[in-house]
Every structure is written in C-alpha cells, then in structure tokens.
Amino acid sequence: MLRIQMIGLAIMAALAMSAIAAGSASAAHEWLINGKPITTATKVHSVGLLLLEDSKAPGGAVSVHCKGFDDGTVGPGALDLILAITTELLKGSDKIPCTFDKAGLCKSNVPPTALALNLPWHTAIVLVGTEVRDLLLADGNGEPGYNVICQGPFGETQEDECLAEPSTMGSTTLENVAGGVRGIFQGKAAELTKCSKGGAGAGKVTGEVLTESPSATEKLTFQ
C-alpha cells in the first residue's frame, strides 16, 4: 500500500468513560527525555503516514493518502497534546494535500485535501490488553476527526467529515524507535468512525506517526 507522510495524529477519539477506565492502567507508563520522566509539557514534532478511508461513500469507497506535519507537546507523565496539523513543519496551510487511492465519485484528476477537525486533541499513554497505546480523548470540544474535500463529478465541492462514534476508541500502538516514538494506526473494527457520506462504521485510518523531540540532543522515548 502506497503511503505518504501525514501528521498523526491521529484521527479517531475515545469515549471519556473508556479513557478514565484505561487511565488506571497508565500509571506505569510515561514520556521520557534522555531516559528521564517529563515533569512539564515539552515541545515535540510529529510526522506520519496515513490512509483515510470512507468505505461506504455513495458511488464507491473513497480513500486518500495525505501529507502533513503536526506540532504539540508531551508530558507531564502519560499525557500529550496535538495543537496543530499543517502542510509544513510549524507553518503552512491546515488543509493537507492528498492523493487518491480510491476516488469513488470524486474527480480523480483533481487532488483532494484533508482537514483535521476539533483541534487540539488530548491523548494519554495507556495499557490496552498487552499493548501500550496512545489513546485519543474526548474533551468536550468535539470529537477528533477529519474532513476530506474533493471535487465532485459536476465540479462541485464534496466534503466528507469522519468523526469518532460514541462506541469507538481511537489509539495508536506505541514503540520506541531510533528516531523517537512511533505510533501505528491499525484500522481495527473497534476504531471505525462515522462519516457524513458513508454513515456509521464507514471511516477508517491506517498508517503510522513518528514523534520526536525538536532538539538533536534530546531523545524522546516512553516507558
């Protein structure tokens, strides 16, 4: 599967109740800089590889590969925050350029864009089963999600907003790697979103995001 860089951000949310229940398992997990616990919110950057899909869009599935960067913080403890998602690192438009994997009723020769919805996004490291995951949390300001924008068959603008459903739990599986911390969106059935075009359970995010400290002398990891 072709993948193009995008912020990871991530893009699906958790129920507040699910987050609270999972939070009790997160006490042993936290963000680290140079192996030491982070005690105050610390600036980080992320870059990722994502495929956004509405599998039930009228006229056929639509899926897009998108490119972008995000800006945020990690810490204290297990908490982190995604503040902005843009086309360039720390600057540029918030409409992320994409390419089609499947165009559905969109004009395939007109590049689509994707816009992150309801930022900022709050997340926390938790233990889900045997996996350490970074869980997106609903905070009362609207569910994290995305809007894919394309040109329709008659030249009209088509928009498809995909947001977390009340029964979903969005998160990435975390692992420490040479460049920082990698989060992997697995597109599991429990993480499907509700899309304005395809309806309940139609939206899916797959891919990965790499989060790193902006300082070359500081190594970001988690435990």
Note the pLDDT tens digit of each residue in 33-74: 999 999 999 999 999 889 999 999 999 999 999 988 999 999
**CB neighbour class for 76 (10 Å; exposed up to 12, middle 13-18, buried from 19):** middle
Residue 71, token pair as written in the block: 């800006």
> Which segment of 16-25, 26-35, 77-86 scores lowest on mean pLDDT?
16-25
Q: How many helices (H) and strands (E) does the chain have?
A: 1, 18
Find out whether 60 and 102 touch, Cβ atoms under 8 Å: yes
- 192 pLDDT band, cuts 50/70/90, is confident
For residue 127, pLDDT beyond 50: yes
**CB neighbour class for 118 (10 Å; exposed up to 12, middle 13-18, buried from 19):** middle
Find out whether 71 and 28 touch, Cβ atoms under 8 Å: no
Indicate the DSSP class of residue 65: E
C-alpha–C-alpha distance, residues 187 and 63, integer Å: 13
- 209 pLDDT band, cuts 50/70/90, is very high
pLDDT at 76: 96
| Tokens 């616990």 -> residue | 37
For residue 169, pLDDT beyond 70: no
- 143 pLDDT band, cuts 50/70/90, is confident
- 119 pLDDT band, cuts 50/70/90, is very high
pLDDT at 67: 82
Instruction: Report pTM.
Output: 0.83
